[in-house]
Structure 1
Amino acid sequence: MSLQPIGVAVAGLGFGEKVHLPALQANPDLCPVALWHPRQERLDAATAAHGLKGFSDWDALLADPAVEAVIIATPPEPRFALARQALEAGKHLLLEKPIALHADQARELQRLAIARGVSVAVDYEYRAVPLFMQAERLLRAGVIGTPWLVKLDWLMSSRADPSRGWNWYSQASKGGGVIGALGTHAFDMLAWLVGPVASVTALNGVSICKRPDPQGGMAPVDAEDVALIQTRLQWQGSAETSVPAQINLASVARNGRGCWLEIYGSDGSLVLGSANQKDYVHGFELCCSRAGEQPQLIEPDPDLAFATTWSDGRIAPVARLQSWWAESIRSGMPMIPGLAEGVASRLACDQAAQTASGLA
């Protein structure tokens, strides 16, 4: 007997509507049943476009028996309160990242999810991208030996234009800044591929200190747009093998080189990168260099290929991660990446922000 698909509501109509919704529609184990947004006009337009129920009242959404699980893809600031209420209502969750503004909030969500016995996924979608999965296989197989040095440059130009308007991204208190946007991915990526983050120090900067306020005039910016981070990683979780790592993040790098991860080991090196700033999934290449051999481009193993692809490269890995989430809900097995990974990344992000501001 086939199981009925799991009813999922999507909260947030930016990334939620553009990426999560089409990914849901491609998954036979999941079914979008409702949308949530605090602004009624925006909600009405989305519900009309997609033929779904709409809610602007969060309690009413959670009370709907058709809603078994919720994807929270709002801006960072309201995410924690919405997630806590959803967990208290016994709903399974898929959270965008960062999962909360501070590690103590993330830990509270983790405790509550365990108490309620629900599955919580965190959208670290690079874990679902074929070439990243291939890199993980090569590292686990010992192709480059023991890592000696890790370097990640993620230099984007998305906010390099000073005329781009002021919004929540400009405010540290609302979860804005490059550490929350890119650092949360970077720390999870390195923890997954190499090993847990052991320590973090950072030097951050605000390059564009004012932006046009939609209400008129200029508004101050206090969220970092550059972060230079040094850390140590525990190779495969071993405290005896510490790997120095350097992470350079920027959202104001005009003509920036994009995302490039370099791992140098005792027997060779891996370089995984893309200069494509319009699509952060399409465009990656993986190069492996063994000691004494010429560099070789590596293709992902056939079993890692996406079953379905979209012109927007973000949708396919999110769809894959959603399928892992559905499997976790069905089986009761822990979700990876989930709240344990979300807490670890949030801790590292907090350290990066605190050391840079002299609070550590």
Structure 2
Amino acid sequence: MKIAIIGTGWGARVQVPAFRSAGLKIVGIAAQNYEKTQREAATLNVEAFEHWRDLLSSDADLISIVTPPGTHCEISVAALEAGKHVLCEKPTALNVLEAQTMLEAAQAHPEQLSLIDHELRFLPIFQMARALINDGAIGQIRHVNSSVIFSSRADPQRPWNWWSDKEQAGGAWGAIGSHQIDMLRWLCGDFSSIRASLHTFVTERPLDDQLLPVTSDDFATAQVRLANGGFASIMISGVAALNENDRMIIHGEHGAIKIEGARLWHAERDGEWQERTPAHTVAIPSEISGNFPVGTVYLGHALKAYSRGQLDALEQAATFSDGLLTQSLLDAAHRSDENDGGWITI
């Protein structure tokens, strides 16, 4: 499978080496700044394209869209109409209306892949956790706690960019909350309602010689009612004093599962935690570390297997249908925050 990447951030830094390690060919890269694209392309030994639309006429089989959310709808629809498979970064879009448009384009081209890049689904620790839950190891889920705590946006001198702009779907809730929502749905089932509080601690950031207002959140907390009767709590902070391991603890009637960093534990009720971290099933390059980059390696192997005819290799992938559901929950949380944290029925 030949892949073209739109974006010189995560796409160049992580996807290129991860996908290459899985045996995929990168045939081109494009981004907004052509000079930067040329520099990145030279470093990566890949062809630079001046505009993302130029990639649609290349020999790429799949277009990976690693751009700000406000561009996802236009690029995804155009790529599908050009006959390309699509892998789109999260959050899916600016809003539910755009996510619905993307899904309709995908449904009009059912022979093509239309995936959202929730690569954590492919990590062995999360697949093992899902298997334990589905096999009844913890019984019916009662409550879940999921937290992502990091410090990268705590510095007020970090420059303003689209991440600082709510109108461009910036903020911690969209960037990180989309992953937490997707993983909670994948492991624990659908949501019935949600309430949230979104906050901005760093209210201004510099750009060139001026300070611009930050309108997006850098802290978010949400409570979720699960369709099966359980509850989940989500916390995200991008302005912590220091980084913590990402953590998810799922309590059921018979036991619990804990995922912290890259490790997995299981405990029976009133028992001790027993580590259940599975071994890697593919080679991970030494320069690639962290759940998201490693998950991208696994996603690359799944794409490779799919291209060789193993059609079930991507059965665990998040589709545009999943993307629409996640987007509806992201939007619902914003409505809840605007209404003093009231419950929003899904």
Q: TM-score, normalising length from structure 1?
A: 0.87
AA partner of residue 77 (structure 2):
R
Task: State the match for 2:181 in structure 1.
Answer: 187
For the Cα contact (< 8 Å) 1:11–1:70, is it kept in 2? yes
Are the counterparts in 2 of residues 202 and 229 from structure 1 also a CA contact under 8 Å? yes
Q: Deviations over 1:120-170 (max 9, x none)?
A: 121111112222222111111111111111111222211011121111111
Say if 2:130 is the partner of 1:152: no
The residue number in structure 2 matching 1:14 is: 9
- Deviation of residue 205 (structure 1)? 0.8
Q: Which amino acid aligns with 2:266?
A: C
CA distance in structure 1 between the aligned counterparts of 2:237 and 2:77, rounded to whole angstroms? 31
- Which AA in structure 1 matches 2:155? D
Counterpart CA distance in 2 for 1:114 and 1:325 is 20
2:266 matched to which residue of 1?
A: 288
Contact conserved, 1:72 with 1:96, CA < 8 A, in 2?
Answer: yes
Higher deviation after alignment, 46-55 or 265-274:
46-55
Assess if the C-alpha contact under 8 Å between 1:119 and 1:325 holds in 2.
no
Tell me how far 1:255 sits from its aligned partner. 2.5
Residue 227 of structure 1 corresponds to 220
1:305 and 2:305 are equivalent in the alignment = no
Cα deviations across residues 166-211 of structure 1 (Å, max 9, x unaligned)?
Answer: 1111101112111111100000000011101221111111111111
Gap change, CA 1:311 and 1:53, over 3 Å in 2: closer
Contact 1:8 1:70 in 2 (8 A): yes
CA–CA distance in 2 between the matches of 1:61 and 1:52? 13
CA distance in 1, matches of 2:150, 2:73: 27
Q: What is the aligned partner in structure 2 of residue 77 from structure 1?
A: 70
TM-score (norm 2): 0.91
Corresponding residue of 1:340: 321
Match of 1:96 in 2: 89
The aligned amino acid for 2:17 is P
Structure 1 stretch 120-129 or stretch 185-194: which is displaced more? 120-129
How far did residue 105 of structure 1 move? 1.0
2:302 pairs with 1:324: yes
Q: For the residues of structure 1 that align with 2:20 and 2:286, how far apart are their CA atoms?
A: 13
Q: What are the equivalent positions in structure 2 for 1:1-360 lying under 5 Å apart? A: 6-28=1-23, 30-64=24-58, 66-117=59-110, 118-213=112-207, 215-234=208-227, 241-274=228-261, 284-300=262-278, 302=279, 305-313=281-289, 314-328=292-306, 330=309, 336-358=317-339
* Residues 11 and 36 in structure 1, CA contact (< 8 A), matched pair in contact too: yes
Identity of aligned residues (%): 28
Residue 324 of structure 1: how far off its partner (Å): 2.5
Q: CA deviation at 1:256?
A: 4.8
Structure 2 regions of 5+ residues with no counterpart?
A: none
Deviation at 1:45, TM superposition (A): 0.9
- Deviation of the 1:60 alpha carbon: 2.4
Give the letter aligned to residue 127 of structure 2: M
Gaps of 5+ in 1: 1-5, 235-240, 275-283
Kept in 2, the 8 Å contact 1:121–1:325? The answer is no
* CA distance 1:111–1:14, change in 2 (3 Å): same
Q: Distance in 2 between matches of 1:138 and 1:331?
A: 25
